[in-house]
Amino acid sequence: MKTIQEVLIRLDQIIAECQSEQSRIGYFAILYRQVTRRVRDGILADEFEDNPRMEILDVLFAKRFVDAYELWKSGAKPTESWRLAFEASRDSGHLVLQHLFLGINAHINLDLGIAASETMLGKDLAGIKGDFNKINSVLAELLDGVKANISTVSPIFGWLIPLAKGRDEMLLNFSIQVARDGAWKYAGEYHLDPHKDFQVRERDTNISKLAKKLINPGKFLAFIVKIVAFAEWKSVSRTMEQLDIVAEKTQNNLQIDSKI
């Protein structure tokens, strides 16, 4: 993949596979496709500090998810943070939001810093910070919209929210902004370290620990999560379709707001 259009074609294929196979990996893929569309539209509208560079970043970023997905599908091992996300997709007991967060966790906390460094190979990493933050903002805005409308597919999800207050629960307090800041710090460390493989392994180990917290929330919430999951839609393909509608509606609303 060398262009955003090629990325979108591959994401379309992955989403079609997930719908056919009733794979919950499709939940993240749906959200990520909308993010990629938004980045494409932003490039066409000349929104970024360096639009050709943003396309390079977007392609390198997307390729890490696609490569991990293809490795897992072939029976090989992707990074551990992605393996945990993919394995969790086989469990109907996890919430839709858990699946989304697991994908975001691997993709931002591990992949984004690497993609940013590769985009700026041989250059000062600081030059890409503005566009790095921009791509995170796009994802955060879309995720907020999906969370606000998650009751469509998860009728009693709202039960969880009051329980988050005052509790250190990774599932309920996951923050893209916090992930973004950590990813930028890691990008700097990765960019300067000649031992790239070691950097990836060490970071992946730490991000995998976060994935495990997302998969297994605190004991207090475990029972509530089971109840909420029981009430969620059981059809993966129908849930994917609804997530796509919500993500697209959110994106349209954001575009309208930006013009006002």
Across the chain, mean pLDDT equals: 90
| Start-to-end Cα distance in the chain | 36
Q: Indicate whether 225 pLDDT > 90.
A: no
Judged against a pLDDT cut of 60, whether residue 79 lies above it is answered with yes
Of the two residues 39 and 230, the one the predictor is more confident about is 39
Chain centre to alpha carbon of residue 139: 8
56-72 in b/e form (b: 16+ CB < 10 A) is: bbbbbbbbbbbebbebb
**Number of domains forming the structure of the chain:** 1
By mean pLDDT, which of 59-73, 97-111, 167-181, 235-249 is the weakest?
Answer: 167-181
| Range of the structural domain that residue 159 is part of | 4-259
Q: What is the pLDDT of residue 164?
A: 56
Dihedral Cα 47, 52, 54, 55, nearest 10 deg? 120
Name the nearest CA neighbour of 100 among 155, 178, 26, 37: 26
**Cα 45 to Cα 159: distance, rounded to the nearest angstrom:** 40
What local confidence, expressed as pLDDT, does residue 251 receive? 81
Of all residues in the chain, the percent with pLDDT exceeding 90 is 66
In which band, very low, low, confident or very high, does the pLDDT at 132 lie, cut at 50, 70 and 90?
very high
What are the backbone dihedrals phi and psi of residue 155, each rounded to the nearest 5 degrees, phi first? -55, -30
- Evaluate if residue 69 carries a pLDDT over 60: yes
The DSSP 8-state label assigned to residue 49 in this structure reads S
pTM (2 d.p.): 0.91
91 pLDDT above the threshold of 80: yes
Model confidence pLDDT, tens digit, residues 135-193: 998 888 888 888 778 888 888 877 766 665 555 456 666 778 889 999 999 999 999 99
* pLDDT value, residue 27: 96
Query: Could you count the other beta carbons within 10 Å of the beta carbon of residue 26?
Result: 27
For residue 177, the model assigns a pLDDT of: 84
Q: Is the pLDDT of residue 236 over 60?
A: yes
Kindly report each contact of residues 233-240 with a partner whose C-beta sits within 8 Å and lies 24 or more positions away, as own/partner.
233/153, 233/154, 234/92, 235/22, 236/18, 236/19, 236/22, 236/23, 236/24, 236/26, 237/19, 237/22, 237/26, 239/27, 239/96, 239/153, 240/15, 240/18, 240/19, 240/26, 240/27, 240/30
| HSE-up of residue 130 (Cα within 13 Å, Cβ side) | 7
For residues 30 and 186, what is the distance between their CA atoms, to the nearest angstrom? 27
Is the pLDDT reported for residue 60 higher than 90? yes
State the pLDDT confidence band at 222, using cuts at 50, 70 and 90. confident
- pLDDT band at residue 128 using 50, 70 and 90 as cut-offs: very high
Mean pLDDT computed over 36-41:
94
